[in-house]
């Protein structure tokens, strides 16, 4: 079988991303986690396991990443905010194969959990403007791949306070 024939049989990569938000007064903030390997702030994301829904995958990943209880510390939207697909050759697809992405909004709803997250130095709540600009106010980088996707699909708008 030639390489191009085998590429057609590779199933798409299935990813889910958590747009974790909180409202501070009249301002929306988005949770990012520090990626020490790549030296940037990133949105929590995960590969879906076989036959796993985006909600189940993100419940697992968010609970593990933030050390939270997936049954009582946060709630994930019942439907994806956006389902997007990318072919292998698209410039914003670095994976070399087809990718299906599901973006979900998520809210932490217990004050004690929010307070615990505030103390975690590996977490930053960024403004919509910082996410859209691709850097924080103190010039730290926001995940360039997510920023490209956000520019393409307009998930987070810079004018959202």
> CA angle at residue 12 from 6 to 79, to 5 degrees?
165
The full set of domains in the chain, from first to last, is 12-153 (3.90.79.10)
Question: Could you identify the residue written with the tokens 């977490």?
Answer: 123
* Closest to 112 measured CA to CA, from 60, 69, 76, 73: 73
- Taking only the tens of pLDDT, the chain with its 161 residues reads 344 444 567 889 999 999 999 988 888 999 999 999 999 999 999 999 999 999 999 999 999 999 999 999 999 999 999 999 999 888 888 898 999 999 999 999 888 999 999 999 999 999 999 999 999 999 999 999 999 999 999 999 887 66
Counted residue by residue, the chain has a size of 161
């Amino acid at each position: 079988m030639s390489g191009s024939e085998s590429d057609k049989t590779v199933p798409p990569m299935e990813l889910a991303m958590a747009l974790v938000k909180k409202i501070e007064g009249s301002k929306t903030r988005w949770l990012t986690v520090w990626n020490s390997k790549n030296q940037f702030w990133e949105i929590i994301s995960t590969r879906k396991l076989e036959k796993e829904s985006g909600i189940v995958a993100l419940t697992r990943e968010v609970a593990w990443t933030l050390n939270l209880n997936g049954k009582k510390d946060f709630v994930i939207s019942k439907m994806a905010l956006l389902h997007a697909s990318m072919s292998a050759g698209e410039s914003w697809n670095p994976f070399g194969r087809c990718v299906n992405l599901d973006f979900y909004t998520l809210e932490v709803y217990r004050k004690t959990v929010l307070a615990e997250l505030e103390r975690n130095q590996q977490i930053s709540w960024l403004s919509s403007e910082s996410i859209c600009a691709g850097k924080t106010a103190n010039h730290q980088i926001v995940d360039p791949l997510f920023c490209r996707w956000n520019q393409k699909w307009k998930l987070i708008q810079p004018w959202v306070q």
